[in-house]
Amino acid sequence: MMKVLLCGGGNAIHVLSSYISARDDTHVTVLSLFQGEAEKLRDAIPEEGIRCINDLGDDVYGKPDAVIGRAEDVPKDLDIVVFALPSFTHELYLKALKPHLKQGVTIGAMPGKSSKATTLCNILLVINCS
Q: What is the pLDDT of residues 90-122, one digit of tens each?
A: 888 988 998 999 888 988 887 555 555 455 555
C-alpha 48: how far from chain center? 20
Mean pLDDT, the chain, rounded, equals 86
Report, as an integer, the average pLDDT of 74-79: 94
Would you state the pLDDT for residue 111? 59
Which superfamily does CATH assign the domain made up of 2-126 to? NAD(P)-binding Rossmann-like Domain (3.40.50.720)
In whole angstroms, give the CA distance from residue 106 to residue 103.
9
Q: Where are the domains of the chain?
A: 2-126
Q: What is the pTM of this model?
A: 0.86
- Reported as a single tens digit per residue, the pLDDT across 13-27 is 999 999 999 999 999
